[in-house]
Amino acid sequence: MKITSLIKTAAMAGAAVTMSAMAAFAVQATATVELNVRTGPGTNFGVIDTLAYGEHVNTTECVSSGWCYIEQAEQNGWVSSSYLRAVPPPPPPAGTAAPDCKLTLTLGGGSPRLELVCTPAPGTGPMPPPPPPPPPVGAQACFYTGPNFQGTSFCYAPGQLSSLNAQFNNRISSVRVSHPLGVRLCTDNNLGGFCIDITSNRATLGALINNRTSSLKVFAPGGVVAPPPIIIPPIIVPPIIVPPVIIPNVFRSGNFSIPSSFTANFDTGVTGGAGVDVWHHAINAAVRRLEVRNGARLAVGNGSNRGYIGCKNAAFSANPVPFAQLSVGTFVCLKTNAGRIAQFRVNGYTGTTLKVSYTVWKH
């Protein structure tokens, strides 16, 4: 049963302060459907809670796959950003049009993040920039370094270029020809080597001249008679049949809090007892590490979310992992003492207690 929105809002405000180590800011959002909360960023992670329609949460971290870590008064976890809507800012002063606000997942320039982006109401924002000038017109041909008339380009009126500079030599991939001109492209300087004549736009050049032009000539009608087209037989490549990848069902998933000097069993989801997998070894107040027990193995790799397939093929080791490698957001693959493939994510620390969310797959 969900607690009242008043209590939940106060709880989320406190959570946003205590979780400041996980993200520099939080964005308020509301669920647009009944939304599952999972232990990790993907549908292959276990469900630990469900948001009600219209329920408010704080988003503190997002990944490039479109999943965001949310905080609430109950279970924190991961949800799909596709089903979150921005909580609008306070209404503007009387007589002022309200801006249009939405949640935007921003990639690049550091960690992916969920931002509240507001567009000024009509008549309140700056004037839009003027449209770009139209392309050059007239009796000329234009040459592009990319297919489909993309990339760096230059245009040339009727005449001959016996050699091209380093910016365009052996880099022309498409040609736009103004009617009624024609173009001759050659692989060597001074119109030598293999040549081909073009009298219409070519979004992609053939294999014999693409990225091989070293000289060219733009000619008027009657200047050059185009040779017959070169017909290159198609290359038939047999299809590659990839066998389907079978991912086993989830055996167990949830959250773990591992205090200093405690052990944890990911197969049973409890700390202590027999058959444990890892030990939170506190050597002293400053030096701590995660050690394996009973034949379990760890694989940190680059700390990314590798899922079942990536963890199954990971290079596991019995070496202890210093906590310096277990920063917030790091994913670690685990082979349990029972031989199951598992993965956990470092969600943060409370004092000397390590807090993780995990998934264990069946054999």
Distance CA 277, CA 266 (A): 7
Q: What is the structure's pLDDT at 101?
A: 63
On whether the CB atoms of residues 77 and 70 are closer than 8 A, the answer is: yes
> Could you say which residues of the chain have pLDDT below 50?
1-24, 107-110, 131-136, 224-226
Residue-level pLDDT at 352? 86
Other Cβ atoms within 10 Å of 27 Cβ, number: 21
What pLDDT is stored for residue 147 in this prediction?
A: 93
pLDDT of the residue at 54 = 85
- 15-67 tens-digit pLDDT: 333 333 333 457 788 888 898 999 999 999 999 998 888 888 888 888 878 88
Domain 5-119 and domain 141-219, same fold? Reply is no
- Confidence at residue 15, expressed as pLDDT on a 0 to 100 scale: 34
CATH number of 141-219: 2.60.20.10
3-state secondary structure 219-281: ECCCCCCCCCCCCCCCCCCCCCCCCCCCCCCEEEEEEEEECCCCEEECCCCEECCCCCCEEEE
Model confidence, pTM: 0.39
**Cis peptide, bond prior to residue 244, ω within 30 of zero:** no
Domain limits of the chain?
5-119, 141-219, 250-361
Q: Strand 150-156 vs strand 141-146: parallel, antiparallel, or unpaired?
A: antiparallel
Q: What is the pLDDT of residue 240?
A: 87
Q: 5-119 has which CATH code? A: 2.30.30.40
CA-based R_g, the chain, Å: 31
Q: What is the pLDDT of residue 220?
A: 81
